[in-house]
Structure 1
Amino acid sequence: MVPGHYVGLASLPLTPNGKVDRRSLPDPEGLELGSGREYVAPRTETERALVSVYQDVLKKAGIGIREDFFALGGDSIKSIQVVSRLKQQGYSLTIQDVLLYPVIEELSLYVRSVSRSVDQGVFQGVIPLSPIQHYFLGGSSGDKHHYNQSVLLSSSEPISPEGLRACLGHLVLHHDSLRMVYFQDEHGWVQENLGSEQGFSLDILPYEPGASFVSACESVQSGIDLGTGPLLKACLFQGDGSDRLLLVVHHLVVDGVSWRILFEDLSVLYSQYSSGNALVLPAKTDSFGYWQSVQMDYSLSPRLSGESAYWSSLEDAGADLLPMDKPGGSNLVSDGASCSFTLGLEETSRLLTECYSSYRTDINDILLTALSLGLTDVFGLDRVMVKLEGHGREDIGGDTDISRTVGWFTTMYPVVFDMGYRTDTVRQLIEVKESLHRVPNKGIGYGILRYLCGCDYRLSPGISFNYLGDFGSGLDNGQGSSLFRFSGDYHGSPVSGHRERDSVLSVSGLMVDGRMNLSINYSREQFHEETIQGLLSAYRSRLNSLIGILSSETGHHPTPVDLTFKGLSVEQLNLLNKKL
């Protein structure tokens, strides 16, 4: 049999036992041998560890040390997973390192051995509120008890109630934030982390499709009490050979990154239970309480005070108001409706892996450019203001590791886009990229200044955007198999219908099963459905156009924010490039 490809390697990658590590061998079909890209195999233990982690997180084989994290489909959320997986191999790296040095060969120079141990005990005590928790608890909207994030999972085999109970118990003991309660005293809201006595709620019910199932889900969703807890409720619906598991967690103690941690841990724990092994999770990272103390210290730092001029200038920038079909209409959760579109597998793959290199544009740059252009097309906006949500696990000093810590870390901060280049798609993309990449430290300082330092910031953008990242197709147990898969069935309202919606238009994106889904949530009492469908159509058209332009561009065009010298404008840099 004649080989289809020959791939030269300096040496064969080996496992710790000295055998050939077949998973680290390059896949010739994925190496783009005709493109001229050079494959270089890992040469050191550190490079081998990074390659292994990149392949695990990015779900790609045959990654060489000169591969770029972003060109392979990486993003800031996946950088957190890289840091977490690497620590489990005994190496230390920051999220910022991955983002600044995305090529393995260079990134390996910043990898260090883990030098600090984290207390593995049960954390308990009163904890200061984070900025996002201040935002939520200080808001005027009622029914704060009913504000959850939830997921419905379907299983490929019957689930043992005893096993599930054991796994959830281990999960709650390991992840301290799941044992929080919230109550008010004379000074305001108090956040207290309870000890091992605080558990979880698990109901076992027969699965009966239709109204009975929906009613049971609604009961779980509306049943959380912040003052007593527990803030994690689960319900196992047993069926004929395929069970359904509803997980409901109050948003005060969980976010998108946290769900990934919980999914992975639950799957690993149940796999251990099914195999008769002891229930063991990776070592704890720093507690949410410790992170809050770091944020409080940061609130007093000169580094943060240096950001205040930037955020104050945004307060004066101004932006166009979003015109409504029905001005003055109510904006309750019960008024909400949504519409969405999903890119195909090929479109999604091109977006993630072929649209970065030419202009070094990450996924948020592209999605927000397409959205802003769509808003301009439909509403005629000249300046678009967006409330941007980020994962919030940024570097704010101190030797902190929260890569596997569960909690509500989300940052929210305003960004303003000048749409003066709307007739030139690429130039408008660069304008959006420049605006986003000049935000200090991914926006974490805005909430700290506003809610911890008392700065009088009052911007309240009507449009919010949140890219939640890649959720795969189910709960991977780390061995390539998934017992649970995500179900799209309705499983109750996670938020009380009596609450005010957080935005006028709420735009979100996420990846499931290799496809990018983008949705717009709005109030039926403020907009006609055809208006939002028109915006959705414009959004998709603009996104497809950007994917086509960027994936076919072969040149490399750095923009001013990519340079160490920050004094150049886009036009000045273009003039310099023409002279070279």
Structure 2
Amino acid sequence: MTNELKNRIIALSPDERALILYKLRGTLERTDDKTVSENSKRLVAYIRPTEQFDMSRYKSYLKERLPEYMIPSAVHLIDEIPTLPNGKVDRNRLIGLNVGAQVKNDLKKPQSEIEEQLVKIWEEVLNFAPISTEDNFFEIGGDSILSIQIISKARKMGIVLQPNQLFENQTIAELSLFAVTENPEPILHDKKVMGPVPLTPIQHWFFENHTIAPHFWNQIVRISNIPGITYDTIHTTVNTIISRHAALSLSFVQTYEKWTAKILRAPKNNYCHYVDLSSERAAEEQQRRIDEVLATDQQNCRLEKGELFRAYYFECGDTQPNCVYLIAHHLIVDMISWNIIFSDFSNALQLLEQGQQIIFRQQTASIKTWGEHLTTLSNSDVFEKEIAYWKLQHYESNSLPRDFEISKEVFEESSCAMYHSFLNKEETGLLLNQANEAYNTKVDDLLISALLKTICEWANLPRFCLGLERLGRTADFISLDVSDTVGWLTSFFPITLNYEAGDNEDLLIKSVKEQLHTVPNGGIGYGLLRYLSNNKQHKSLLKQEPEVIFNYLGNKIENHNKSSEQYEQLWEGTRYPSSERNHKLEINVFSVNNILNIHWSYCTELYKEETVSRLAQQFIGNLKNILLHCSTKEIRAYTPSDFPESGLNQEDLDNLLENF
């Protein structure tokens, strides 16, 4: 132990030293509790109590000083702590003790109406039950995208939560203490928002990188299994949703090479189109006609006219069920937006089926308010301090190997192909749940660890610059509630990751976790400084264009209720063939019903399919090794970000752990 580390420990108060000792002597044991997952690991405390020991005071003490994941799920009171000859705790004997007094956190039921409502919401979003009020959201399959869904659903039930509260209070028992209830008057739609709207950073990025056919860069969703489907029903539903969300009425105009946005007054009839295909008797011919209609629609779209969100109702006669397609330009929606639209669509259809008027609760902040808020923040001292960090996220062009030598650096969408790989249900379950307990990680920490190893070993690089996409809706400094706001709010930023772990999964995970933890304010500042700040130097300093882009889209749970509508996102034919692409590889990862999907998009002018196939398989192999390592790790490992106020680096922390 270094003298510096000894001095830090000596400087701690007796209570703080005792607390660290407790943390380090915590032991993980397997339980039979299958509420979370098979063979899940839980933190257990063994205490040799004094006569003055008070269990309730002990619990309060821990809750005041420890994050939720460090609070033990079971407490054993014992007469003596067994030790080895060298004075260290004998963990094997400790676990094998026939303990007497015990306090165990079994399934904790709701103690209030708010807790009952939150349990129902969690069970609906996470798609399993029962959930305890003391279950940790991120240890039972939750992620940042699902957290937005929970905040949105809670708001619709009159429970107001701030965007970051679920990250800071990760159990229902704690979250309920900060929830504010409200009973707003239901309204048909939000207050009308019209006129100029500031571009978000990601919209600036789009126009900077897409000059050829910027109107043709869409997302398409097919809706099926709609009960009692009629054109009038769809027409009413779509127009009501458009009236509710201002972003769906956005238009974009280019003047002197500068793009501006404006919300137009929503027309009543131009958003929902009726197409009669009943004269076509073959399903294949009907699908061909559908594809033609969708292609023509996208080609004829004009950004300045608005109408960037449209619906098509196809009358298919007796050949097949009638179907509905939604088209939205990516400029006005992101993945969270689609989840909001799906929820509104389903609720509206249910109300119409019951003969009721479509009524929604009060809307969250509008896209106009959000844009103005970001513009104000972009010139604040908070982000000026980030410049030094973002300048260090440098990249080296042409650092990746190529199968074909080609001089150009901008490619066309028509030259891109997709390679799909998967992780089975059991392995996906490990990734979403137990594996993250070993190092207190999030899912994307482990995914990026596997990707870093894959890319650096393939390219023989000690580091590389990765482009990351994040939600962009949550940060400590953001006071606006945009949990139910439609728009393209995604944040995009570069991060240079160092790789020196080799085959050491322990070092790899710790290193990546800490490097990701250093990203200031979730990365939202990069776009604000590069595109919104009044300081012109920022734009010249921040010009990184990473060769690889990674996006974790979270856990999507499809609805298998045969009486409910189904939503399916389509990928082919949604972008203009000559549209520009500046990166060489794009990896989109998401899970559907506990099957991890990894989509590798690559340029065929640079890579053969077998090259990308090898990369994809290597990534899967590295990820499996990480999952195996995490699932067999007996004791939770800590990193400096787990003790943000300690000032310890990883070496000091490891030395401290070793001495205990």
Residue of 315, 321, 327 corresponding to 1:238 = 315
Going from structure 1 to structure 2, the CA distance change for 1:283 and 1:86 (only over 3 Å counts) comes to same
Going from structure 1 to structure 2, the CA distance change for 1:430 and 1:491 (only over 3 Å counts) comes to closer
Q: Which digits, 9 at most, give the CA deviation of each residue in 1:291-345, with x for residues without a partner?
A: 1111111112222222222112224x76881121113266210001010112222
Going from structure 1 to structure 2, the CA distance change for 1:157 and 1:91 (only over 3 Å counts) comes to closer
Contact 2:334 2:489 survives alignment (8 Å): yes
Residue of 329, 334, 354 corresponding to 1:250 = 329
Instruction: Check if 1:540 corresponds to 2:635.
Output: no
Contact 2:250 2:308 survives alignment (8 Å): yes
Structure 2 residue matching 1:347: 3-state secondary structure = helix
User: Which residue is 1:6 aligned to?
Assistant: none
Contact 1:205 1:235 survives alignment (8 Å): no
Instruction: Check if 1:100 corresponds to 2:168.
Output: yes
User: Which residue is 2:419 aligned to?
Assistant: 339
User: Which residue is 1:168 aligned to?
Assistant: 238
Letter aligned with residue 107 of structure 1: L
Structure 1: how far apart are the matches of 2:637 and 2:438? 6
Identify which range, 507-516 or 433-442, moves more after superposition: 507-516
Contact 2:164 2:474 survives alignment (8 Å): yes
Structure 2: how far apart are the matches of 1:550 and 1:319? 34
Structure 1 residue matching 2:392: 3-state secondary structure = helix
Percent identity (aligned): 28
Structure 1 residue matching 2:137: 3-state secondary structure = coil
Structure 1: how far apart are the matches of 2:626 and 2:321? 42
How do 1:392-471 residues align onto structure 2 when only pairs under 5 Å count?
392-395=472-475, 397=477, 399-453=479-533, 454=536, 455=538, 456=540, 457-471=542-556
Instruction: Check if 1:270 corresponds to 2:338.
Output: no
Structure 1 residue matching 2:557: 3-state secondary structure = coil
Structure 2: how far apart are the matches of 1:170 and 1:149? 20
Residue of 384, 387, 394 corresponding to 2:464 = 384
User: How far off its partner does 1:494 sit?
Assistant: 0.8
Structure 2: how far apart are the matches of 1:134 and 1:34? 47
User: Which residue is 1:577 aligned to?
Assistant: 657
Structure 2 residue matching 1:291: 3-state secondary structure = helix
Contact 2:587 2:599 survives alignment (8 Å): yes
How do 1:354-365 residues align onto structure 2 when only pairs under 5 Å count?
354-365=434-445
Q: Which digits, 9 at most, give the CA deviation of each residue in 1:471-516, with x for residues without a partner?
A: 3225x9xxx665332457x675111111112421010012223321
Q: Which digits, 9 at most, give the CA deviation of each residue in 1:380-433, with x for residues without a partner?
A: 222121100011102364641110000000100011111111221221111111
Structure 1: how far apart are the matches of 2:223 and 2:445? 32
Identify which range, 274-283 or 289-298, moves more after superposition: 274-283
Structure 1: how far apart are the matches of 2:631 and 2:144? 21
User: Which residue is 1:43 aligned to?
Assistant: 111
User: Which residue is 1:19 aligned to?
Assistant: none
User: How far off its partner does 1:139 sit?
Assistant: 2.8
Q: Which digits, 9 at most, give the CA deviation of each residue in 1:12-33, with x for residues without a partner?
A: xxxxxxxxxxxxxxx9863679
Identify which range, 236-245 or 407-416, moves more after superposition: 236-245
Contact 1:158 1:238 survives alignment (8 Å): no
Contact 2:249 2:308 survives alignment (8 Å): yes
Contact 1:255 1:407 survives alignment (8 Å): yes
User: Which residue is 2:339 aligned to?
Assistant: 260
Contact 1:358 1:556 survives alignment (8 Å): yes
How do 1:33-432 residues align onto structure 2 when only pairs under 5 Å count?
38-114=106-182, 120-139=190-209, 141-155=211-225, 159-186=229-256, 188-197=258-267, 199-206=270-277, 208-209=285-286, 211-239=288-316, 240-315=319-394, 321-328=399-406, 331-395=411-475, 397=477, 399-432=479-512
Q: Which digits, 9 at most, give the CA deviation of each residue in 1:121-172, with x for residues without a partner?
A: 1111101111111111233531100011112233265621110111001110
Structure 1 residue matching 2:139: 3-state secondary structure = coil
Structure 2: how far apart are the matches of 1:247 and 1:423? 46
User: What value does the CA root-mean-square deviation take over the aligned residues?
Assistant: 2.6
TM-score for both structures, normalised by structure 2: 0.78
Contact 1:156 1:242 survives alignment (8 Å): no
Structure 2 residue matching 1:120: 3-state secondary structure = coil
User: How far off its partner does 1:217 sit?
Assistant: 2.8
User: Which residue is 1:13 aligned to?
Assistant: none
Contact 1:236 1:245 survives alignment (8 Å): yes
Letter aligned with residue 47 of structure 1: E
Contact 2:190 2:243 survives alignment (8 Å): no
TM-score for both structures, normalised by structure 1: 0.88
Which runs of 5 or more structure 2 residues have no equivalent in the other structure?
Answer: 1-31, 41-73, 75-104, 278-282
Which runs of 5 or more structure 1 residues have no equivalent in the other structure?
Answer: 1-26
Going from structure 1 to structure 2, the CA distance change for 1:482 and 1:501 (only over 3 Å counts) comes to farther
Contact 1:298 1:396 survives alignment (8 Å): no
User: Which residue is 1:484 aligned to?
Assistant: 565
Letter aligned with residue 294 of structure 1: H
Count of residue pairs the alignment pairs up: 548
Contact 1:377 1:538 survives alignment (8 Å): no
Structure 2: how far apart are the matches of 1:115 and 1:297? 31
